Amino acid sequence: MSKRVAIVCGTGIATSTIVAEKVKKGLQKRGVTADIFQCKIIELASHAANIDLVVSTTFVNNKLSVPVISAINLITGIGEEEVLDQIAEHLR
């Protein structure tokens, strides 16, 4: 069963779409498979029991039992590969 990754932003539309595409391509390049979906920050708690990792462009009050990785680097492009490596490592 593949691991589930929530790509989170304020609205679940704009920046999460950019990040989701970069994560999909980055994981594929690294030979890692995952079920990636987008959601709004306010929806995150309702998905918490069914996810393995959160990648977020906004602040996450980390009361979740899963790791949270900031996706700001995937928006700015600075340090992008390092963040993709970190995401892949959490999913291995």
Average pLDDT across the chain, whole number: 94
pLDDT of residue 62: 67
- State the amino acid at position 81 in one-letter form: E
Give percent of the chain with pLDDT exceeding 90.
82
- State the amino acid at position 50 in one-letter form: N
pLDDT of residue 13: 84
The CATH number of the domain holding residue 84 is: 3.40.50.2300
Q: What is the pLDDT of residues 1-16, one digit of tens each?
A: 789 999 999 888 889 9
Domain that holds residue 31: 3-91
pLDDT of residue 63: 81
Q: What is the pLDDT of residues 34-67, one digit of tens each?
A: 999 999 999 998 998 999 999 999 998 868 889 9
Question: What's the structural domain count of the chain?
Answer: 1
